[in-house]
Amino acid sequence: MSRGYASKGVSDSWWYARRASKARLREARAEAARAEAARAREEELAEADTKRGYKWPEWVEQTTYTRCRPSPSVFDESDVTALLTREMRGFMDRVSAQPPDPWFHRQSEKLVLAALMVHAEDDDGVRRPQFVFGLNAEVSLPAGGSFCAERSAIVAARARFPGISRADFAGIAVLQVPLSSGGIATNPLRPCGACSEWLLKLGEQIPRF
Ligand SMILES: [Zn+2]
């Protein structure tokens, strides 16, 4: 039905779209006005501080970007992210039930979990998604010798499926969890330089990895 506008040949959907874009425009103008007011207030405060002789410390701007996506209500068995999220949740529960020895985390005092999905043959010879897990281990020796969760999982996958090739890797999830109750965890966690390079090298064969 296209009330009123029908004679002009304008559809309802066009009218609603136009009304929606006007509302967005109004909202954007209001947002700009709020930002301007906030900026003016900051300038006013800064001016007052200058008059008082107060020197502002240098500011360091820290920005974190996080990609979020809604969890679908129907579990999709072909969705690597959904599968890895499910497996990571199970792994996290297992680790929480059996807290790791802090000695293995004495360098950064961080506990990091990795869940890796690969396509490999099971004992029955059927190729299917398989999940391998990794934990970081930081023993703090003069010669280095720390292992990140990501690379531990990749190495564990090779030990479990010796014939695995790079093209069999489907995806990896990494999560920091508190090492002790009441501890803090910072997520999302970026891979270290060495892990980034490993993951990039694996990704050369599988762009979606
Ligand atoms: Zn690493």
Does pTM surpass 0.75? no
- Tell me the CA–centroid distance for residue 151 and ligand 1, in Å: 7
Q: Using CB atoms within 10 Å of the CB of residue 40, give its burial: 0 to 12 exposed, 13 to 18 middle, 19+ buried.
A: exposed
d(Cα 79, Cα 5) in Å, to the nearest integer? 44
Contacting residues for 201 by C-beta, under 8 A, at least 6 apart: 166
Least confidently predicted of 3-7, 36-40, 99-103, 182-186:
3-7
- Tell me the CA–centroid distance for residue 146 and ligand 1, in Å: 9
CATH class of 80-203: alpha beta
* Residues near ligand 1 ion, CB 5 Å cutoff: 148, 192, 195
pLDDT, position 1: 43
Specify whether the CB–CB gap between 191 and 148 falls below 8 A: yes
